[in-house]
Amino acid sequence: MSEVQRTLVLVKPDGVRRGLVGQVVGRIEAKGYRLVAAQLRTADAALLGEHYGEHAGRAFLGPLVEFMLSGPVLAVVVEGHRVIEGVRVLSGATDPTLAAPGSIRGDLACDTGAPVMENIIHASDSPGSAAREIALWFPDLG
Ligand code: IDP
Ligand code: MG
């Protein structure tokens, strides 16, 4: 049975800086998913604090927020059957050194030794996260 979902994708500041927005969005479109909304913007600390709320207390949270504030991100809402899992698979493992070749992180990123892993893409990890994150980044999206 069809289970159309929506997920939140962020092309992180490293991806925007390196000119990889087209490749990231292109892979998602080529897979067959549909773009619902997109916005290029620089986030603020309050938004990122909420977005990464699950990581409160983790040592990498400060560097992560600083990195995410370092330039604009492309926020995109993507729709499709099982899209939440699908975009996680396209993204690859969190650690870009270990992410499989063929995935966005595996092909386009490496660990630079920075305190936070710069890995090109964020993608919601569950239906609950997707709903929460879409409401945060696109409050007008009904
Ligand atoms: P995810 O982006 O694959 O869902 P999360 O565990 O939610 O991974 O972590 C959010 C982001 O924080 C990662 O994408 C990465 O940029 C960074 N990160 C996660 N774990 C570490 C770590 O152990 N060291 C440095 N940065 C990390
Ligand atoms: Mg995550």
Res 1: pLDDT: 73
Q: Ligand 1 mean position to 2 CA, how many Å?
A: 31
How far is residue 95's CA from residue 54's CA, in Å, rounded to a whole number? 18
Structure tokens at 116: 């936070």
Residue 141 sits at φ, ψ, to 5 deg, of -80, 115
Q: What is the mean pLDDT of residues 119-139?
A: 98
72 pLDDT higher than 80: yes
Res 4: pLDDT: 95
By alpha-carbon position, which residue is closest to atom 3 of ligand 1? 94
- Name every protein residue with a CB atom under 6 angstroms from any ligand 1 atom: 60, 64, 94, 116-117, 119, 122, 125
By alpha-carbon position, which residue is closest to atom 8 of ligand 1? 94
Res 2: pLDDT: 81
Res 44: pLDDT: 97
Q: What is the mean pLDDT of residues 23-39?
A: 98
Which candidate, 68, 71, 75, 65, places its Cα nearest to that of 7? 75
Calculate the average pLDDT of the chain: 97
**Using one digit for the tens of pLDDT, what is the confidence trace for 98-124?**
999 999 999 999 999 999 999 999 999
